[in-house]
Every structure is written in C-alpha cells, then in structure tokens.
Amino acid sequence: MAALTINEAAETTGWSARMLRYIEREGLIEPARSDAGYRLYGPGELQRLRTLRELLAEHDISLGDVGFALRLRSDAGLRDAVEGWLAAEPRRPAGVAADDDWLRFEQLKHERLLGRSEPAAA
C-alpha cells in the first residue's frame, strides 16, 4: 500500500491527472513528493479526493468555493472580516438607537470576536 503516482491516483479517484494538479494548486490537497519531485498520493489523500468529489456534487459548490473556505479557516483576519460583515445585517431593532450607535455596537461585537482562534484539534 505504498503511495500512488499521479496517474494511478487519478485512476482510483475518478479525477484526471490534470485536475489533481489543479486541486493541488488550489491548496486543497498537497501530496508528498519523491526525491525526483514525483507526486505521491497516500491512502489519506486518496480518500480525501474521493470525498471531495462527493462534497462538490452533493452541495453544488466549486473547487474555488472549497478553496475559499480553506482561506477562511486559515486566515483569521479574513474570517473575522467576512463574519463581521455578514453579522451586520441591517436589522435595527426598530427603536433601539440611532444608526451611528448601531454601527458602533456592531463594531464592538466584532472586536470581541477577535479573541477567538483555532479550536486546536483535540
């Protein structure tokens, strides 16, 4: 059960060799390399390649989407910025405060979020 080279991996996962390189460039799956630079796909990578296909098909999303999710998860600044923007839905509680105050409130909420980090895999 040694590692497979790119064409063998393509064979067993249903991706083309071309797409395997593309997926790697997206940062999604980066196989080990042999001394000579050959890509070596282990069982874990092969499994992930298969589940990746299911993920895309079942939820109708793109490789770029998954790549963006990866960026979201590894770039805390990006995650907080996007999360902050999405959280700021213009749902002013009717009579609560002037808009400037509302905005300040959102900003504070955002700052508080900044403390959060990776759950550091148990």
Partner DNA sequence: CCAACCTTACCAAGGTCGTGTCAAGGTTTC
Partner DNA sequence: GAAACCTTGACACGACCTTGGTAAGGTTGG
Alpha-carbon separation of residue 28 from 8, 48, 100, 114 (angstroms): 19, 9, 41, 26
The rounded distance, in Å, linking the Cα atoms of 122 and 110 is 26
The binding track of 33-62 with respect to DNA, each residue x by CB under 7 A or -, is: -xxxxxx----------------------x
Q: Which two tokens stand for residue 34?
A: 């042999």
Question: Residue 22 binds which one of DNA, a copy of itself, none, with CB within 5 to 8 A depending on kind?
Answer: DNA
The rounded distance, in Å, linking the Cα atoms of 60 and 51 is 14
Q: Where are the alpha helices (DSSP H) in 1-122?
A: 6-13, 17-25, 43-59, 63-74, 76-87, 99-113
Q: Is 59 a binder of a copy of itself (CB under 8 A)?
A: yes
Q: Is 19 a binder of a copy of itself (CB under 8 A)?
A: no
Q: Which of 3, 17, 40, 52 is close enough to bind a copy of itself by CB under 8 A?
A: 52
Name the segment binding DNA (CB under 7 A); options: 14-22, 43-51, 77-85, 104-112. Answer: 14-22
Q: Which residues pair with 4 in a beta bridge?
A: 41
Please give the residue ranges that form the binding site for DNA (CB under 7 A).
5-8, 16-19, 21-22, 26, 34-39, 62-64
- Which residues contribute to the site for a copy of itself (CB under 8 A)? 42-45, 47-48, 51-52, 55, 58-59, 61, 65-66, 68-70, 72-73, 75, 77-78, 81-83, 85-88, 90, 92, 99, 102-103, 121
